[in-house]
Amino acid sequence: MKIHILSLLLLAATSCNFAPPKNTYSDSTSNDVIAEVETDDKEMNAAIELAKQTLYQFKNALQNQTARQGAFGLKVHFDLGGGMGEHIWLREVWMENNEYFGIVDNDNLQTTEVNYNDTIKVNPDHISDWMFVDQGKLVGGFTTRVLRKRMSPEERKEFDAGYGVIIED
């Protein structure tokens, strides 16, 4: 099941001449959540900045995986021009020669750079989030946490059941 979270501003903007730039976020595997967020969304931008600042934690865990860890993923920004972009999760992330690679885990909505199941090399400057699971709990996933927080209690319950991972607030 897909849950579409659309800003009321987006709906209003489509009926007038000015539409503020949006970024599209696919925020879980299998396209469970697709959200459009304004490019100047302070909370989302703070989550992306936190992900960038803590990427070393992801890299360390990926390079030193334990049996209790898995589901390593990176979210990558694809530029659409005009201040807009699409953020897509990669699964089965690995490192080779200090570079990240992964498999596109969402259908693209707007970008033509990648398609579902493509294997790609990641430009580290384009990483907008990271995540892995440690003993059944989400580590990282900063942008996912922002979008989850904005869900209604019913949407959050459905999301949590489908995600299958404990997300601590």
What digits encode the pLDDT tens for the residues 38-84?
A: 888 899 999 999 999 999 999 999 999 999 999 999 999 998 888 78
Average pLDDT of span 11-32: 37
Q: Is the pTM of this model over 0.75?
A: yes
Residue 28 has pLDDT above 80, yes or no: no
3-5/33-38 β-pairing:
parallel
How much is the pLDDT for 77? Answer: 93
Q: Residue 55 in 3-state DSSP?
A: helix
Q: Residue 117 in 3-state DSSP?
A: coil
Residue 67, Cβ density class (10 Å: 0-12 exposed, 13-18 middle, ≥19 buried): exposed
Residue 95 has pLDDT above 60, yes or no: yes
pLDDT tens digit sequence for 98-110: 999 999 998 888 8
Helices (H), 14-119: 42-53, 55-63
Distance between CA 12 and CA 10 in Å, rounded? Answer: 5
How much is the pLDDT for 83? Answer: 79
pLDDT range class, residue 97, cuts 50, 70, 90: very high
Residue 7 has pLDDT above 90, yes or no: no
Mean pLDDT value across the chain = 82
Within the chain, how many helices (H) and strands (E) appear? 5, 9
pLDDT tens digit sequence for 142-162: 999 999 999 999 999 999 998
Name the token pair of 160.
Answer: 């949590």
CA 48 to chain centre: 9
Q: Residue 143 in 3-state DSSP?
A: helix
**Percent above pLDDT 90 for the chain:** 62
The CA-to-CA distance between both ends of the chain, in Å, stands at 24
The answer to whether 140 and 131 are in contact (CB under 8 A) is yes
Q: Indicate if the alpha-carbon torsion angle 81, 2, 33, 155 is positive or negative.
A: positive
Distance between CA 121 and CA 90 in Å, rounded? Answer: 10
User: Of the candidates 64, 27, 66, 46, which has an alpha carbon nearest to the alpha carbon of residue 151?
Assistant: 27
